[in-house]
Amino acid sequence: MQETIVQLTYLAASVLFILGLRSLTKPDDARRGMQLAALGMLLAIIGTMLHQEILTYTWIVTGLIIGTVVGYPLGKFVPMTAMPQRIAFSHMFGALAATLVGVGEFYHMYQGEHPTNPSVADTRFKMAAIGFEVMFGALTVSGSFMAFGKLQEFITGRPITFKGQNLLNGLLFVAASGCFGWLMYEPSNVVAFYSMVTIAFVIGFMLVLPIGGADMPVVVSLLNAYAGLAASATGFAIGNNVLIIAGALDGASGFILSMIMSKAMNRSFANVLFGAFGSGGGVASKKTADGMVAKSIKAEDAAVLLGYAGKVIVVPGYGMAVAQAQHQVRELAELIEKKGGEVKYAIHPVAGRMPGHMNVLLAEANVPYDRMYDMEEINDQFAECDVAIVIGANDVVNPAAKTDPGSPIYGMPILRVSEAKSVIVLKRSMNTGFAGIENELFFDEKTSMLFGDAKASLSKLVSEVKQL
């Protein structure tokens, strides 16, 4: 009877996970989707605690308390600008949990005080699950730490490459696969098991090392997929159905999202993982800022353009996130609309440092969901736009992606801001983006640069528009 209750609880949790994931496909249903998923996780925890193999709740309660003490501040007080690195950090702990479960299972079978020492025939399937679990888990731990470091900028966000890097990575993968095969032949081999775990940790570091910050949205999504696969393998290793289902959902959705974002950048998985975005390759671009002049504009003049514009398109980027200027963006848009203008928001799939970064920030500022448009939906509207205002975006609006075959971003789909009748760009300086190249848009004759902190500049614009 108790086992039936546990399995029914797991089934209900799995259904809630699926419904929650389904709700995340629409911005206005996303909050409800997260609530459904959270309820599913609660049921999964309750089902696990009812399991007859659990004899004491001491360690579970201890972990629950520690997790709450650490997790609540991370969720409540970490600013939205730091959300990408917080997510990478969360992936690291999720993968670490899966890895430790795999190590614990192996230790229990062959190294504990009372090892079970099952027969080879009985353990090959389980060892396959444990092997996948610890390999994907270990490389996700170290890979997520590298992603966290690059996003937090205590590790350089630029690609780090060296001669023979891909060959070394290939040899490490072959070595890990060899240890895995060795375990299939001799499941009790301690050297093979811990060598595989160690090599997998090194692979995680090496995989993210050559990836630049511009590719971080894809990397974060891919690491999420790896963590899901590790969790699913954990379910097979310990016979837990809800882990199998939840991990498979996480892994599949992460891979699909990674492919969507790679397509948005017109790049393959292999190019993202091994291409060292922004570090060169192909025909080197010769275009520089020499001889080109950017035209600056005062907030007063920019306010006049915006206040009397019939159609305005806002293009948010990472600079908006850094300045935490999303609330000022919404306030400016409301003023323009009160004066009879129409305001829309153009969202590039890889703007920011995580999937959906701009959508999350704008939703936090209560920007209506129906004003946010994907790149494909809004690109044709730039030609009819009176003013396009770019806030901290760089590579995703760079015309070089269309005009310069030597550019590292050539072929990447961009927001066609250059087609607008007038363009205002808010930036601190003329520094390049993560691709490390000059942006032709900034030197266009119809582009005006409003220099300064985005939040301060937008506050000034709001003040000036009110006076019109």
Residues annotated as catalytic (active site), given as ranges: 395
What is the token pair recorded at 4? Answer: 């039936």
Short-list 342, 316, 265, 290, CA closest to 425: 316
Q: How far apart are alpha carbons 68 and 362 in whole angstroms?
A: 28
Q: Which residues contact 110 (CB under 8 A, 6 or more apart)?
A: 117, 187, 188, 190
User: What is the number of residues in the chain?
Assistant: 468
Q: How far apart are alpha carbons 125 and 40 in whole angstroms?
A: 29
Over its C-alpha atoms, the chain yields an Rg (Å, rounded) of 25
- Residues 208, 92 contacting (CB under 8 angstroms): no
What is the token pair recorded at 434? Answer: 């993560």
Residue 393: how many CB atoms within 10 A of its CB?
28
Q: Which residues contact 51 (CB under 8 A, 6 or more apart)?
A: 6
Q: How far apart are alpha carbons 268 and 261 in whole angstroms?
A: 10
Q: How far apart are alpha carbons 429 and 439 in whole angstroms?
A: 12
Instruction: Indicate the Cα dihedral angle 393, 395, 401, 403, nearest 10°.
Output: 70
